[in-house]
Amino acid sequence: MKIGFIGLGVMGKRMATNVLKGKYELAVFDLNKDAVKDLQQLGAKACEAPCEVAQNSDVVLTSLPNSAIVENVVLGENGILEGAKEGTVIVDLSSITPKTIQNIAKKASEKGVEVLDAPVSGGAAGAEKGTLTIMVGGKKEVFEKVLPVLNCIGTKVNHVGDVGAGDTVKLVNNLLLGVNMVAVAEALTLGVKAGLKPEVLYDIISQSSGSSYALTAKYNNFIAKGNFEPGFMIDLQYKDLQLAVDTSKDLKMPLIIGNLAQQLFEVARAKGLGSEDISAVIKLYEEWTSIKVREE
């Protein structure tokens, strides 16, 4: 089985490297020529456009920034669909709206091309180690066909339903992450403002009912050290909350806490914190209360 990979960014270049380590033949494309060269040096074939990747592959993986770009790379001029043949499988690893991938799958099916949405969780570290969680939507038999490839990049690879189901699980997960991150920032600041040491709060709460991934993953390595190098960038968290907001509007469902959390990340972006880790949202509370939630 020949594999293609489009989008060699923070996640994509690491995942593509692991596909190569799995001894698959790999064709790659990215607008960033340096990223393509890096993969070429590891043995991948460099292509000039998404359609050329598709011509050289049975399965094309994509890891791209947002819905509009994925749509363009698959359906646009010189896109994957132009180079694909009947039976080609497109596996989108990006986090995008379920509606977008369902539309792409419908158009692809007219050419006999199969589509899976397979967003990932686990960040750059998980992509590097090949230990991502992958939630896959689409036909079960297509999922089974590409499973050996997905096993090169993830250790928890789950089929969760029809096309769009993977992106839905992912946006629900990242809605919770965003909301929990803001809650951790607000709650820790309250405790410190009330006179407690932040590590006392952390030690007790991380073992209590108020604990969450946002607290345990983001306190010691980020907030306590005043280190806000991502990790997971505020801009990406903001985009993922937008996926939840858009989906809630389509479903006519109020998303009160999700919208509030997104607005806090919007304030952080307006202050120039978009490229910092999501834990940097605590800087807003620190400014409003004139304290620091860490030992200086």
Does residue number 155 form part of the binding site for ligand NAD (CB under 6 A)?
A: no
The single residue of 170, 218, 239, 283 carrying the catalytic annotation is 170
DSSP string, 143-208: HHHHHHHHTTTEEEEEEEESTTHHHHHHHHHHHHHHHHHHHHHHHHHHHHHTT--HHHHHHHHTTS
Residue nearest to ligand NAD (CB): 9
> 7 vs 178, which CB is nearer to ligand NAD?
7
Q: Which is nearer to ligand NAD, 7 or 154 (CB)?
A: 7
Cα distances (angstroms) measured from residue 148 to each of 3, 99, 205, 275: 12, 27, 40, 34
Which listed residue (3, 6, 44, 185) binds ligand NAD by CB under 6 A? 6
Looking at residues 267 to 286 of the shown chain, list those that interact with ligand NAD (rule: CB under 6 A): none
Is 45 noted as a catalytic residue in this protein? no
Query: Among residues 18 and 189, whose Cβ is nearest to ligand NAD?
Result: 18
Quick one: which of 232, 238, 265, 285 contacts ligand NAD (CB under 6 A)?
A: 232
Cα 129 from Cα 106, distance rounded (Å) = 34
Residue 68 or 200 with smaller CB distance to ligand NAD: 68
Three-state SS for 120? strand
Backbone angles phi, psi at 27, to 5 degrees: -115, 135
DSSP 279: G
- SS3 label, residue 70: helix
By beta-carbon proximity to ligand NAD, the closer residue of 15 and 113 is 15
Beta bridge partners of 62: 6, 92
Nearest approach, Cβ of 91 to ligand NAD (angstroms)?
Answer: 13
Q: In whole angstroms, give the CA distance from residue 199 to residue 214.
A: 15
Comparing CA positions, the residue from 55, 56, 66, 54 lying closest to residue 90 is 54
The distance of closest approach from Cβ of residue 10 to ligand NAD in the complex, given in angstroms and rounded to an integer, is 4
73 in contact with ligand NAD (CB under 6 A): yes
134, β-bridge pairs: 120, 157
Cα 285 to Cα 279: distance, rounded to the nearest angstrom: 11
For ligand NAD, what does the binding mask look like between residues 77 and 116, x meaning CB under 6 A? -----------------xx---------------------
Q: Which stretch binds ligand NAD (CB under 6 A): 4-12, 183-191, 221-229, 287-295?
A: 4-12
In total, the chain counts a number of residues equal to: 296
236 binds ligand NAD (CB under 6 A): yes
Instruction: Give the residue numbers annotated as catalytic, written as ranges.
Output: 170
Binding residues for ligand NAD (CB under 6 A): 6-12, 29-32, 35, 63-65, 69, 73, 94-95, 120-121, 123-124, 232, 236
